Amino acid sequence: MRDTPDRVPTPCPSCSPDLETVHEVLTTGGGTLTVRCSECSHVHKIQPDTEREVTLDVVVSQGGESFTANVTAPEDETVEVGDEFILETEEVLSTVRVTSVELDGQKRVDEAPADEIETVWTREVDNVAVNVTVHPQDGSRDDSHSITVHVPGDYEFEVGDVESFGDDEFEIDAFVVRNDASGYRRDRFEESGDTAFAKDLKRVYAYDEQSSAWSAW
């Protein structure tokens, strides 16, 4: 919410009904401002200017599918890749992250004022699907396979941890974060103890713990 200014330009009903003059703001309340004209000292009430808003089309990617919704935003607010906001419609209430900003002519940019935007592309981050490439313990890539695990967006993965999902058990070797993730020093992490949230991950690389159990025989 913006702070109320000390002075505002507005017509004065006493000395300048058709042109704006500078007025001192005396008090606020009840949705009105009590102001005093700097030209003639006339005191009167005015309705403050309301912030102009625009309606944005939002495309949400959710579990391999997508749907379209609308949100309102101040026209001068900057929308940027990586921004997260709560999207509430009749069908869904979820947190989404901006993945791309589209301007007129299908031009994609990383950020833009809301009044210049045609479409905001997003993905849901409350619950996410994480792709995991699992290698055998012997390092052979020929027998590698991919699985997808479904977890809350704030579920944390750590290099060196052993994870179990159903019949799959694996030790995390490395992971790559998404382009829209912020707060990371680089895009690939492979040192023991490195962590990232599931909503930020593009792919996890791991070694199959099941294969190590079989090799013990």
Per-residue pLDDT tens digits for 109-124: 999 999 999 999 999 9
Residue 131 has pLDDT above 90, yes or no: yes
Q: What are 88-95's contacts with CB under 8 Å, separation 24+?
A: 91/67, 92/60, 92/62, 92/67, 94/60, 94/62, 94/124, 94/126, 95/124, 95/125, 95/126, 95/153
Fold entry, domain 53-124: Elongation Factor Tu (Ef-tu); domain 3 (2.40.30)
- Distance from C-alpha of 33 to C-alpha of 45, rounded to nearest angstrom: 5
Q: What average pLDDT score do residues 42-62 get?
A: 87
- Distance from C-alpha of 91 to C-alpha of 26, rounded to nearest angstrom: 45
In this structure, what token pair is assigned to residue 187? 């895009």
Instruction: Output the CA–CA distances (angstroms, integers) from residue 183 to 9, 136, 154, 187, in the order listed.
Output: 42, 32, 14, 10
Q: What average pLDDT score do residues 174-180 get?
A: 95
| pTM, to two decimals | 0.69
Percent pLDDT > 90 in the chain is 68
